[in-house]
Amino acid sequence: MADKTFTDANFKSDVLDSSTPVVVDFWAPWCGPCKIVSPTIEELAKDYEGKVAVGKLNVDENPQTAGEYGVMSIPTVMVFKDGKPVKVTVGAQGKDAYKRMIDETVAS
């Protein structure tokens, strides 16, 4: 499992108020591509441990946050820095694409 499970209730404290960048995987249990991406997200959580927080937000259980960020298709992966989404990708991507998003965010 990724570092954290984000919810409507903890999103502000765990993502928006985080002092480090945060990767959020917007997903749902019925989503086939989400299941494909899940192991990659877990690998990223291990790879970036201590540098970047990585977690998942179930869009079915947390529609408020998904709606606020305009998540219309899943998987959507967003990288937040200083309380704002700075990188977004929609659809299943390879690990290199996610690493590039994270590395560019950390470097900026």
Residue 28 tokens, joined: 């749902």
Contacts 24+ apart (CB under 8 A), 64-69: 64/8, 65/6, 65/7, 65/8, 65/11, 66/26, 69/26
Which residues are catalytically annotated?
31, 34
